[in-house]
Amino acid sequence: MGVQISPSILSADFARLADAAASVANADWLHVDVMDNHFVPNLTLGLPVVESLLPASPIPLDCHLMIEDPDRWAPAYAEAGAQSVTFHVEAAHAPIRLARQLRSLGARAGMALKPATPIEPYEDILSELDMVLVMTVEPGFGGQKFLDVCLPKVRRTRELVSKHGLELWIQVDGGISPETIERCAEAGADVFVAGSAVYRADDPARVVDELRRLAEG
């Protein structure tokens, strides 16, 4: 599939989400950060906003659920038509069952890891997933500094994916910018989330192109 860019609307103007989506029509995905004030200390948006955004976005939605009990709440995002739904493994009670459910509803199933969560315990369930999201900041807020300590995990995830001959994508999220994206690509990531780098720029689409060019190397 090659390099994919997924701008995060967390850094966009929440009163103009349709414009935010339209401004990055050259990206592959629109990253939507759902936060519940329990799994992370911040509250953003939920299913009603995703339902409204789906028909308004020129590109598919990449929903990143930073919520407790995704087993209960995540399937509704797939039912609504979100093309990719990512849950945090730290919060999931039955990640295999949840991933199967998301896939059966027609969504790509993603599993996210906070910076201190290792990938090794999940080697055997990688075949149940379409994407692993390696967080490169502590989830909860945009505009944080990229954590270099997460790069070895990107590398190990890529090794495991190769070892098992899987098609799975590896996403990085947090502090991704023209300064950090090449390190992530070199470590084996292929889907890149960027919030503040894209939406705090005068021309978001230009940053999307720049990030893609840098990641493609």
Q: What residue numbers does the annotated binding site cover?
A: 8, 31, 33, 64, 140-143, 173-175, 195-196
Nearer residue to ligand DX5 within complex by CB, 10 or 215: 10
User: Which residue of the set 28, 62, 130, 173 is catalytic?
Assistant: 173
Annotated binding-site members for a divalent metal cation: 31, 33, 64, 173
Residue 157 CB coordination number (10 Å): 25
CA distances from 77 to 22, 24, 100, 109, 153 (A): 21, 22, 14, 11, 28
Contact 78, 107 (CB under 8 A): yes
Stretch that binds Zn ion, among 43-51, 153-161, 168-176, 180-188 (CB under 5 A): 168-176
Smallest CA-to-CA distance from 198 within 4, 1, 20, 3 is with 20
64 binds Zn ion (CB under 5 A): yes
Site residues (vs ligand DX5, CB under 6 A):
8, 10-11, 31, 33, 64, 137, 139-144, 173-176, 193-197
Respond yes or no: is residue 33 known to be catalytic: yes
CA pair distance 128, 104, nearest whole angstrom: 11
Respond yes or no: is residue 36 known to be catalytic: no
State the binding partner of 83 from ligand DX5, Zn ion, none, CB within 5 to 8 A by kind: none
From candidates 6, 24, 30, 33, binder to Zn ion by CB under 5 A = 33
CB 193, min distance to Zn ion, A: 5
CB 124, min distance to ligand DX5, A: 26
State the binding partner of 70 from Zn ion, ligand DX5, none, CB within 5 to 8 A by kind: none
State the binding partner of 195 from ligand DX5, Zn ion, none, CB within 5 to 8 A by kind: ligand DX5
Catalytic residues: 33, 173
